Amino acid sequence: MNIGDKMPDLLGRDSNGKEIRLSDFPGKKFIIYFYPKDNTPGCTAEAVSFRDNYDTLLQMGYQVIGVSKDSEESHRKFAEKQDLPFPLVADTETTLCQTAGVWRLKKMAGREYMGIVRTTFVCDNDGIVTDVIEKVKTKLAADQLMALLEGRGDVNPAP
């Protein structure tokens, strides 16, 4: 997905098996972040960064939603262990990841495989992508995001 593209309304199922739709959050803008795997050091650092800044992001009018290929059960355990207050979408078939363009060929230790490229999308209340962060700093993911939003002047609390 690129700036100006529309994120699908139906994102998938969360850790409780509930369908997550953008339309479930009327009046909210969205932070939709894609990450490779639950309970890995980088992905945990990123999730904790969003958790620790969640109230501020809500006050700014944003709903945070995490997405990975992991199962609903894996997401449930990860969310409980890290006390995550936002939904995690289980994209086990990589449908949303492919739509977003984050399911790509990766290389590590001389081997090639398909996987999720860590990416954060900022969307307006209609689900239109307004910003894309492709070089996510895991430990500072929320700070990086808020600096971007402040640079746009998007720091006022939601009405």
Residue positions annotated with a catalytic role? 43
20-50 burial, b at 16+ Cβ within 10 Å, e below that, comes to bebeeeeebbbbbbbbbebeeebbbebbbbb
Annotate 93-129 with DSSP letters as a single string: T-HHHHHHT-EEEEEETTEEEEEEPPEEEEE-TT-BE
Instruction: Report the first-to-last Cα separation within the chain, whole angstroms.
Output: 28
